[in-house]
Structure 1
Amino acid sequence: MYDARITPSILAYMIAVTGANGAVGRRVLERLPEARGLTRQDAEYRDTDAMARALRGVTTLLLVSGRESKDRVAEHKSAVDGAVRANVQRIVYLSFYGAAPDCTFTFARDHWHTEEHIKRSGLRWTFVRDNLYLEMIPRFAGADGVIRGPAGDGRVAAVSYEDVAESVKSVLIADHDNATYSLTGPEAFTLHEAAEAFGLRYHPETIEEAHAWRQGAPFEVEGWVTSYTAIAAGELAGVTDHVEQLTGRKPRGLPTRT
């Protein structure tokens, strides 16, 4: 368990946070400013040797999942192998809610494969599976203020960046070995309800419509579309109390319109 007598300088020696410039990594470092922040300039995940060098002296690593790519699982495995080579003792991995080999959201399948590799690494591990980020939902809207996607009337228990960062901090500084936490907001809502809360509109598309106008690599388009169809399938609707367990307070929900 976390010992309050541990000094910040010792914590800095023990903990490293990847994705230091990202939405979650940056917030974690604000809460643990003495930890070692790592960016792509320090080491790319795909470069196992560079990861091992960057992690020398680290005992606990927060591995923030890399940006979506067709090689993301291989890159994650390389980063884990670098941690093993550097004698890191524990990995806290920022995963995704409901990660499974056959879940609807294709990007979440990458997280499951990464989790399995971490389990096989021999390192102690903790998996933090966050739901969709609450702050991302209004960013789904186009310039016309409309969120379009094939989510139907499905519900999503989105969680805020702040609650994820606070939960991750708690996991990093205490003993949560071989535990999995699923982080959600206080309630599950439809995209109709979310759009109204953010002053937007939601247009439920068909799957065919969703594929017709999105541009990008096939794996990107499939990931974007299945983030909505996972909502439609009810796979992101479960609400947990894990944020409250880890932080001692209830998570943030949708803004209240006045």
Structure 2
Amino acid sequence: MTSASPGRLVVLTGADGRLGSRLAFRVAAAGGRQRLLVTGQGVVPRLPDGASLPETEIVAVQAEPGARTLTRAFAGAYAVFLVPGKERPGRLAKHRAVIDAAVLAGVRHVVYVSSVGAGPDAVASAARDDWLTEEYLRGTDLTWTMLRITMFHRTLTFAVYDESRRSLPGMVLRAPAGDGRVASVAHDDVADVATAVLLDEDPNRHASRIYHLTGPEALSLDEVAAALSTATGRTIRYAPQTLDQARSLFYRSTAAEVEDWITQCQAIAAGVLTGVSPDVRQLAGRGARSLEAWLDDYPTEWAHLRLPSVR
């Protein structure tokens, strides 16, 4: 287990989200000092039994906190963990506001959750925003670490639809990803790496470093469907979509949400997310969980696939 560096305060944005809550648990278990920013839109993180509660401060903030609120929230902190926003447009402005507040508050280090393939001409829209955020961060006096991830295992489970009432019965994994492959990763693996980076006794070890966080293998979506079938006991097949089919399926979502999903699938099709990195093993001290292992270890994360009607 990672041991906390004494006296250093870290601030976790998105602490009531799926990734942030896992990180908060780990920092508390290591005895780290942390301030958790929660918006009330998620679940307040559960702390381990026996955790030193005085070392963990929970601060409620608005979904879009102002500059003064953020600067006060970051006061006295050594590092800030920045989880990217989900909503577009406006995502990039929120990232910049957090970075600006960190500078004003005297924070020294920012750990940013970015995307594999981030770049000015990235296939995925989120990866383009991540690149702009990275560049903005590089332009400050802050030290930084980028945690570039592929796609979470859990995300793939929400591309499964129950089509038993249609002409083609059964459960179908639908995505405009062609025959591409993806080395998806578990939330817990990213949280373990973030813990190691934030609490490292050597504060310079991870400065100006980019880590690629992936699973241990790149699977085709046919192989993903087969793994889901084995875990659920229900037959799930993969059906590649055209872009028009993908857009029509998400008619209840915003245009930005649809673009994020479609372009992430296009990144899979383009081979952007196939690379397998050793960074999880090197930083977390153990190998990354495969999709099969994750399905076995975290059945509540994909329990929705067991319901009579997934969609």
Matched with 1:130 is: 149
Q: 1:156: which partner in 2?
A: 182
- 1:238 alignment partner in structure 2: 275
134-143 vs 93-102, which deviates more? 134-143
1:206 pairs, out of 212, 219, 242, with 242
Separation in 1, partners of 2:176, 2:141: 40
Over 3 Å counting, the alpha-carbon distance change for 1:5 and 1:198 in structure 2 is closer
User: 2:22 pairs with 23, 27, 40, which one?
Assistant: 27
Please list the CA deviations of residues 148-194 of structure 1 after superposition, one character each: whole Å capped at 9, or x if unmatched: 11111100000001111001111111230000001000010011100
Q: 2:138 aligns with which of 104, 119, 122?
A: 119
In structure 2, stretches of 5+ residues that fail to align are: 40-59, 164-170, 230-235, 297-311
Contact preservation (8 Å) 1:127, 1:181:
yes
- Matched with 2:82 is 63
Q: Which residue of 1 aligns with 2:48?
A: none
Paired letter, 1:253: S
1:213-252 map, 5 Å: 213-215=249-251, 216-252=253-289
Task: For residue 65 of structure 1, report the CA deviation from its aligned partner.
Answer: 1.0
Deviates more, 1:242-251 or 1:46-55: 46-55
- Unaligned 5+ segments in structure 1 are none
For 1:146 and 1:6, locate their aligned partners in 2 and report how far apart those are by CA, in whole Å: 47
Q: Which residue of structure 1 aligns with residue 56 of structure 2?
A: none
Aligned equivalent of 2:303? none
Determine the structure 2 residue equivalent to 1:100. 119
Structure 1 equivalent of residue 109 of structure 2: 90
Instruction: Please say if residues 148 and 213 of structure 2, whose CA atoms lie closer than 8 Å, have aligned partners that are also in contact.
Output: yes
Letter of the 1:205 partner, please give it.
Answer: Q
Q: 1:176 aligns with which of 201, 206, 213?
A: 206
CA contact (8 A) 2:147 2:211 kept: yes
Count of aligned pairs between the two proteins:
252
Distance in 2 between the 1:163 and 1:4 partners? 17
On the 8 A contact 2:185/2:291 being kept in 1, the answer is: no
Whether the 8 Å contact between 2:12 and 2:24 is mirrored in structure 1 is yes
Partner Cα separation in structure 1 for residue 22 and residue 264 of structure 2: 24
Q: Which has the larger displacement, 206-215 or 177-186?
A: 206-215
* From 17, 38, 52, the counterpart of 2:12: 17
Question: What amino acid sits opposite 2:264 in the alignment?
Answer: S
Equivalent of residue 220 in structure 2, options 185, 190, 193 = 190
d(CA) in 1 for partners of 2:154, 2:259: 22
Larger Rg: 2
Q: SS of the counterpart of 2:112?
A: strand
Q: Which amino acid aligns with 1:154?
A: G
1:81 aligns with 2:76: no
Identity between Structure 1 and Structure 2 (%): 38
Are 2:172 and 1:146 aligned? yes
> Which TM-score applies when normalising by structure 2?
0.77
